[in-house]
Structure 1
Amino acid sequence: MEIKLVKAIAGDVLLLHKVQTEAFQPILEKYLDYETNPANEPINRLFEKIQYSSFFKIIADEKCVGGIRIVTKNNSYWISPIFVLPQYQGRGIAQQAIRQVEQLFTKWDTWELQTIQQETGTCCLYEKLGYERTEFEQVVNDRMTLVGYKKTRNS
């Protein structure tokens, strides 16, 4: 399934909020991470992210099926977050989206992200794309630990 990335604009906030909430709801229910889960993110916070960072809608089948946000800090690009609607997961959409943003953003060679250690399929996705575990580890609650991943271009 081919996807395209479309830069999000302020007018996309309701749509992206709905898609983000639906995409992260199963994770929220599984890990009960009410403080960190994007399903709980207030719409005004998402609006700020769209306005002040590189936020893209992931389009497949001519509809928005997810989103990906890229921020820069310490001469690295950070994926924070990436999400795909549950009914579209497992089709290579996140993999394509990551590859596309890696081609779009070329000023720095380092890419980083954090994900849930217990989500082994997600960890495998990042590893398949060349990301390696870092030393970062943060216990969120007794069900969930965040871990860091990093990729250096041409490595």
Structure 2
Amino acid sequence: MEPLFEIIHSSISLQRATLQDTESLFELQKKVFTPLYEKYEDHETSPVFQTLVRFKERLNTGDFYKIMYSNSLVGSVHVYAKSPGVMRLHMINILEDYQGNGIAQQVLSRLESMYPEAVKWELDTILEEERNCYLYEKMGYVRIEDRWKINDKMTLVHYAKTANLNRMKAL
């Protein structure tokens, strides 16, 4: 799919989500993950089936951000400290019309700079979603051999990225 427009990175911002954002972010998550659910028929782990109560709990765990483009909500991202120095990118979701325009790259770069204490970042993604794997690898993440077969159509893979030691020394 060709991008509908070129994203100007200075128009992208991350805004901390609040409880008032719960319903709009919950609906956004369902909208983003419904096509993946339909493709992979993941009845067990799909965010499509997350309850509003569980979503609200997650909103209060770690840091949850709205991804804004020119003051419009286009996605969200959830990160939390897994252990001292290890940050977990739990979920990033961007509306389909805005995918493929560099937003995720910009969000990842900004998140990494917002958490200078992180010496390692971790995430999971769908192995069969080649664009996601390409993105994370392009951003310096390395695929770890951990795999979780969800069903015959879908496997989750684990990625990790170690912080740049030169950057850490400069801090």
Distance 2:73 2:145 in 1: 34
TM-score, length of structure 1 as denominator length: 0.96
Residue equivalent to 1:13: 22
| 1:42 matched to 2:69 | no
Candidates 46, 52, 72, aligned match of 1:63: 72
Q: CA separation in 1, counterparts of 2:26 and 2:45?
A: 15
Query: Are positions 1:73 and 2:82 aligned together?
Result: yes
Name which of structure 1's ranges 31-40 and 118-127 shifts more when overlaid on structure 2.
31-40
Alignment match, 1:107? 117
Secondary structure, counterpart of 1:78 in structure 2:
strand
Please tell me the residue identity of whatever aligns with 1:52.
Answer: T
Residue 129 of structure 1 corresponds to 139
Greater CA deviation, 32-41 or 144-153? 32-41
**Distance of 1:40 and 1:84 partners within structure 2:** 18
Deviates more, 1:120-129 or 1:34-43: 34-43
Moved over 4 A (4+): none
Unaligned runs of 5+ in 2: 1-6, 166-171
- Hey, what's the Cα distance between the residues in 1 that align with 2:119 and 2:39? 34
In 2, Cα distance between equivalents of 1:91 and 1:104: 22
- In the TM superposition, residue 36 of structure 1 has moved relative to its aligned partner by 1.1
Opposite residue 141 of structure 1, the aligned amino acid is: N
CA-atom RMSD, angstroms? 1.0
How many residue pairs were aligned? 155
The CA deviation at 1:108 is 2.1
Equivalent pair of 2:61/2:80 in contact (CA under 8 Å): no
Work out the CA distance in 2 between the residues paired with 1:95 and 1:42.
29
Q: Which residue of 1 aligns with 2:169?
A: none
Sequence identity of aligned pairs in percent?
Answer: 38
Q: Which runs of 5+ in 1 are unaligned?
A: none
Residue 149 of structure 2: aligned partner? 139
Q: What is the rounded CA distance, in whole Å, between the counterparts of 2:90 and 2:27 in structure 1? A: 17
Q: Distance in 2 between matches of 1:34 and 1:43?
A: 17
Q: Specify the structure having the higher radius of gyration (Cα).
A: 2
Distance in 2 of aligned mates of 1:39 and 1:65: 17
